[in-house]
Amino acid sequence: MKGSIKWVVMVSLLTWGSGLDAAPKPGERPRHSGKPISSLPALKSYSAGVRARGPAIDNQSAARRVKERFQDRRILGIKLIQRRNKTLYRVKTLSDEGVVAFVNVDAESGALTQ
């Protein structure tokens, strides 16, 4: 009896699952149903005022400004942070003497502060 129940359950699962999309085989193009993956609205449906504005300069520009100002330092890392309602890049630098220092670059104006 237990064996026949297992068999019925397995057969029903196999027949039910046969209609599901499986992963594509190697060399086969992925199947796309055309439906969105999530139920979240598209980004363009939001007004421009609702979306957060990004920084005016990117992290490479911030690193370049630090390198121009402090030529004797190496840049170890860079991170975008929020401080006192300002967006800043916090740039970690290393001097020739082995001293680690942080330089802040304003993401809107590009101004440097230590």
88 CB-contact burial (10 Å; exposed 0-12 / middle 13-18 / buried 19+): buried
Across residues 8-35, what is the average pLDDT?
61
The whole-model pTM stands at 0.52
88 has pLDDT over 80: yes
The structure tokens listed for 2 are 């237990």
If one counts the domains in the chain, the total is 1
Confidence band of 14 (pLDDT split at 50, 70, 90) = low
For residue 86, the domain's CATH number is: 3.10.450
Residue 57 has a pLDDT of 86
In a domain, residue 21? The reply is no
Answer whether residue 64 is part of any domain: yes
Return the ∠ at Cα 81 (arms to 74 and 52), rounded to 5°: 130
Average pLDDT over residues 69-85: 90
| Residue 87 structural domain | 59-113
